[in-house]
Structure 1
Amino acid sequence: MAIAWKETPQLPKAEGRIDAIDLARGIAIGLMIVSHSVSGLVGIRNVPDWGMVPIHFLTKFSSSLFIVVFGIALAVAFLSHTQSGDWPKRRLKLWLRAVEVWFWYKALLIVEMLPFNTPSEIVDALLYGRFGIWVEILGFYAIALLWVPLMLPLWARAPLWSRLATIGVLTALTIWLQSLTFGGNDILKALLVDHEDHYTWGQVSRAPLILVGLLIGEALLRCYFEPAMRRRLVLTLLGLGALMVGGFYALALASGDVYAAMRAVANNVGKHPPGLEFMLFSLGGALVLLALALAGGAKAAKAAKVLLPLTIVGSDALKAFIFHIVMIFLVLRFLWEGEGVYSYPQALGVGGLLILGAAAWIWVIRWMNAHR
């Protein structure tokens, strides 16, 4: 089938909730919870070699998968409505969600910093004078939810070639902006294109991942409910993901030390700001995991009982995020003074329990709301 470069999105409505998207998002959150449990309770410097590679190495799929699925969910739930009369109401819903996410970002920032920061340092972070570490992804989503609703109607009317060109232009713009000093304003640079001294996520540097998610979401709406077309989409995502991961290993081989390259990724080298090797591995692995989540469709996502907690967690990402941050930093680190107390295997176990706990909490809240 020839690619219609001048075609604008012509999207069908989703036939109910797509559980495979929840599963993919749940996998991303699950990897994030494991990573945060280890870094929050043990510390990266104390992770044994066998934990860095392969375990902590593989958790690097999380951030790219989370942002790509964010774009997919926007395409599925909102893109087809941008030309309809109820779009202003749906746009307002996204902006109200931005306010909700921003509130929890600031509240959880206090929780994260409470054990080891002074009140003045916490206030400085609340006023964007500095950044935290583990909750900064929420700050990214809060800002993204402000500009994405303004962009979606334009994206829905744009031909395919211009959507692809936008991704390329934003990537090139990120590289150029990274070379600028922003007049010494490191906070602004971090908010726009990441900064090596701040563990936050740039809106411009991460926008291409959101837009890639929009493209995949458009394809998903067209293909998901047709088994043959879904298989074609799955194979395409698998192929692209494998090609990117292969590109990472090709660069690692060229450097002469593959293990050192893997360990560098596990240590977040190239994550902030995004580097080529890190992004090849992280985004490539994210596409592979996404393809696997989509492969079986809704029935497989429901039938695989071992994956059900991840699907539940992915169905309400904000609640899952709140739960694991409160448990790690308020309960385990602050109230129980647990930093440095846990061994690496114990921290992994805590991460697994927190995934199950988050799923249980979400399920209980839904049960209570259904029986009021």
Structure 2
Amino acid sequence: MTASNRWLWLAGLFFLGWLVYLLTPILSPFLVGILLAYLGDPLVDRLERWKLSRTWGVVLVFVLFSLVLLIGLLVLVPMLGKQLVRLYQLTPQMLDWLQNAALPWVQAKAGLPEGFWRFDRLKAALSGHLDKTTDLLGVVVAQATASSLALLGWLGNLLLIPVVSFYLLRDWDLMMARLRGLLPRRQEGLVVRLMGECHEVLGAFLRGQMLVMLALAVIYSVGLMAIGLELGLLIGVLAGLASIVPYMGFVVGIGAAIAAALFQFGGEALYPLIGVGAVFMVGQLLEGMLLTPMLVGDRIGLHPVAVIFAILAGGQLFGFTGVLLALPVAAVIMVLLRHVHDLYKLSELYGESPSGSEEPPTPA
């Protein structure tokens, strides 16, 4: 690649980033549509292999997605809503328990001085805020309807997602073929190979890791509710979502579950605490021995720190659109870095230095 071509590519990448930044307010429904089309394409391809037309395959996949969404709205969302309201109601009691039981115990065991926590100020601030927000739903509705144009724009974007997803999913293979046809002929093999690696990483992460997160959320929620934990569903779902980063779901979930069990049952009740530990140990064993090897494998190649940084950086730069773009961009960057690493290992720069350029031996 000549110097002029390099500058042309750099200018094109800079222009693309600038364009994404300008179009951030309208990109969200299209990015969500692309994500849904990407996730649903393997199912449609399988239906095509069963001698079903592409359009009817897309319709069946859309019906399946719609049923899953409907079940979530009718069953899961009301249950989570009740637990969120219950958490809101229990917050003052939790603050009292922290002040009068939990933190004094930690203070005594750690030998901390009196007044170390300064908890009265925090409690006063939180209690005052809770007293002002007596109607959570009313506050949310008031904020959402503060601007009628903003509300209409939000509803329009929401309705645009299934339309974009349907047409992208129907024409997915055709678009991929046309994009391949636009590639420079001499670099087609290399670009196709790199994109194949990106597809493998993204497919393993988006499909596999999301299924792992869903399975862990079900395991944790069912287990915690079985031992009688009042906020078991909420904590289980939170732990499952946090499992997008390995081990974070376990740490967040078991910490929140132990705190909730101590608050609900008291420190003298050992069986609920043993039950919490057993639930999360079973979840970790199933994840490590069954779920991750079967659904994800070892193809991701995204370090947990890289996942955290990509999500935070995308949200900081481009908001919700950046969060949607973070993991795909991180996967592409990781694949390109592997390729650059291989090229570096084959370059003269990495090779052994000539005998004439070796450093002289140090005198004895």
TM range (shorter): under 0.3
Higher share of residues assigned helix: 2
Output the TM-score relative to the length of structure 2: 0.25
Q: Which has the higher contact order (CA 8 A, sep 6+)?
A: 1
Indicate the structure (1 or 2) with the bigger Cα radius of gyration.
Answer: 2
Output the TM-score relative to the length of structure 1: 0.24
